[in-house]
Amino acid sequence: MRRRWVSAVAITMAGLLSLTACGGGEDGQGASGGEAAKKQVEVFSWWTGPGEADGLTAMREIFEKQNPNLTFFDAAVAGGSGDKARALLTTKLQADTPPDTFQGHAGAELQGYIKAGDLEPVNFLYDELKLRDVYPKQLIDQITVDGNIYSVPVNIHRSNVLWFNPAVLKEAGVAGAPKTIEEFITALEAVKKTGKVPLSIGSEWTAVHLLENVLLGSLGTEAYNQLWTANSDWSGPAMTKALQDFQKIMSYAGTPQDDWQPAAKQVADGEAAFNIMGDWAYGYFHNPPEGGLGKTSKTDFDWAPAPGTEGTFMWLSDSFTLPKGAPNRDGAIAWLKVAASKEGQDAFNPKKGSIPARTDADKSLYTDYLADALSDWSSNKLAGSIQHGVVVNDAWRTAINEAVGLFQQDQDVAKLQQALAAAAKSSGQ
C-alpha cells in the first residue's frame, strides 16, 4: 500500500513538472502578443551595470517621446561583455524568435549572424539618414560586408589606452608615459626595481587585450590592419618580433587578478604602475564610489595611447541590429533611428563613458578623458579591436583566446605564433 502511495506521488510530481514546462512557453508568447494599441519594441542588450543602464534609460526616454505609440521593452541580460546575453540570444535566434533589435559589437562579431541569415542589411537607414556623412569613412569601411551594413553603431570605445599612476612612475624615475614598446619595457624594468607591480593584469581575456595592443604597437597600424585581410602574414619575422615583445611585457605582469576592475584598481591604489585596458576603465577610475573609485584624473591616474600606437585609435563599438523576422520591424527601425541620431548618442554616451560614433557630436558634453578621445576619434587612423569583436569573428577570437591561454601556461612563443597562424587559416573569415 505504502509503495503505491510513493509511486503515485512521484508520478504526480513528474506530471506537474511537464505541465509547468508547457505553461512557461505559452506565457512567453502571451507577453509578446501584447496590446494592440501600444506596440512594444523588445530591445535586447547587456547594459545593466551602473552608467550603461543609465545611458540606455536616457535613450529610451527620447525614443518614447518621439514614438508615443510604441513602448520600450527592456530585455537586458546582465553580464560583462555580453557573455550570457549572447548565449541566450543564440538560442532565441535558433528558435526563430528574435527580439525586435539586439545589441552586438559592430564588425566581424556579427558575421555569424549574417551568415546564418539572421540579420537584415540596414543600408536604407544609412541612405535615409545620410549616416555615411557623419560616421568616419574608415568606420563605414570596416563594418561593411560585401557592400552591406548590418548594424547602427551607437558608441565608440577605445582599446589602446595605457593607464598609469603618476606617483609610482615618479618614484621609479620614469619621466612620462612611454611612447614606444622599447621605452615601455625600460619603464617596466625601472618600476620592477622599486618593488611595485610593473604591469597589472586581470583574467585571461585581459591578456588578449594586451596582445592586441602590443601587436598594434609593434607591427604598426598598416601591418596590423592587414592581418585581417587576405594578404595577412602571421608567420613572418615581424610577427615573431611582436610576440617576443608580448612575452617580454607579460614577464613584468603581476599576479593575474580576477577581472579587469581589480587590475585597474591596483594602478589607482598605487600598487601597480601600468595597466593596458579599454577606456571603460576611465569611468571606473573616475566615477564616485558606487560604480567607481572616485579618483582624480591626472593626479591619481593618467592615460596615454598604448606604447607605439600614438596617432591610431583602436576602436570597438556597440551597435544595434535589425533581425530578420523581427515581430515589430517598424518599432525596431524607430529604435535604430534614435540610436543613430545625434540626440540619442549625446544622451547615451556621456552616461556610459564612451564617445559617440558620429563625428558631429556636441563637444561640450565630453570632458576630461572623453574630450581627448573625441578629438582623437575624428583625427586618428583607425584599427579594430580583436578581443572586442571588430576584426575577427567569434570562432577566430575564441581560437586566439585559447592560444593566449595556452601561452600563459607554457610561455612558448613559437607555439603561440603557430597557433595564431592556424587560427587565422581556419577562421573561415
Partner 1 sequence: MRSVRRWLPGLLLVSPSIVAIAVFVYGMLGWNFRLAMTDKHDEISEGQFVGLTNFVELWDQPRWTISVNHAIVFTIVFVLGALLLGLLLAFLMEKGIKGEGTFRAIYLFPMAVSFVATGIVWRWLMNAGQDERAVGLNRLFDGLGLDFLQWQWFRDPDWGMAAMAIPAIWQMSGYVMALFLAGFRGVPEELREAARVDGCNEWRVYRYIVLPYLRPVTLSALIILGHISLKVFDLIVAVAGKQIITDVPAVFMWVAVFDSHDPAKGATIAAYIVLSVTVFVVPYLIWSVRKERKERRS
**Can you give the binding site for partner 1, defined by CB under 8 A?**
7-8, 10-11, 14-15, 18, 86-87, 90, 94, 112, 115-117, 203-204, 255-256, 258-259, 271, 394-395, 397-399, 401-402, 405-406, 408-409, 428
* Angle at CA of residue 149, ends 146 and 154, nearest 5°: 150
Residue bearing cell 590592419: 225
Q: Which residues share a beta bridge with 336?
A: none
Between 89 and 338, CB nearer to partner 1: 89
Between 41 and 77, CB nearer to partner 1: 77
Distance of CA 186 to the CA centre of its chain: 30
Q: How far is the CB of 117 from partner 1 (least distance, A)?
A: 8
What cell was used for 100? 525586435
- Give one DSSP letter per residue of 127-162, joined into a string: HHTTHHHHS-HHHHHHHEETTEE-EEE-EEEE--EE
CA nearest 424: which of 145, 221, 236? Answer: 236
CB 342 within 8 A of CB 135: no
Q: How far is the CB of 408 from partner 1 (least distance, A)?
A: 7
Q: How far is the CB of 157 from partner 1 (least distance, A)?
A: 21
Spatial separation of the C-alpha atoms in residues 51 and 35, rounded to whole Å = 31
Between 202 and 283, CB nearer to partner 1: 202
Spatial separation of the C-alpha atoms in residues 359 and 70, rounded to whole Å = 29
Q: How far is the CB of 214 from partner 1 (least distance, A)?
A: 19
CA nearest 400: which of 152, 224, 209? Answer: 209
Spatial separation of the C-alpha atoms in residues 297 and 47, rounded to whole Å = 25
Q: How far is the CB of 414 from partner 1 (least distance, A)?
A: 14
Between 241 and 415, CB nearer to partner 1: 415
Between 255 and 364, CB nearer to partner 1: 255
Between 62 and 395, CB nearer to partner 1: 395
Q: How far is the CB of 11 from partner 1 (least distance, A)?
A: 5
Between 43 and 399, CB nearer to partner 1: 399
Q: How far is the CB of 142 from partner 1 (least distance, A)?
A: 22
Q: Is the dihedral of CA 236, 237, 240, 241 positive or negative?
A: negative
Between 27 and 410, CB nearer to partner 1: 410
Q: How far is the CB of 284 from partner 1 (least distance, A)?
A: 18
How far, CA to CA in Å, does 45 sit from each of 55, 67, 109, 284?
12, 20, 15, 20
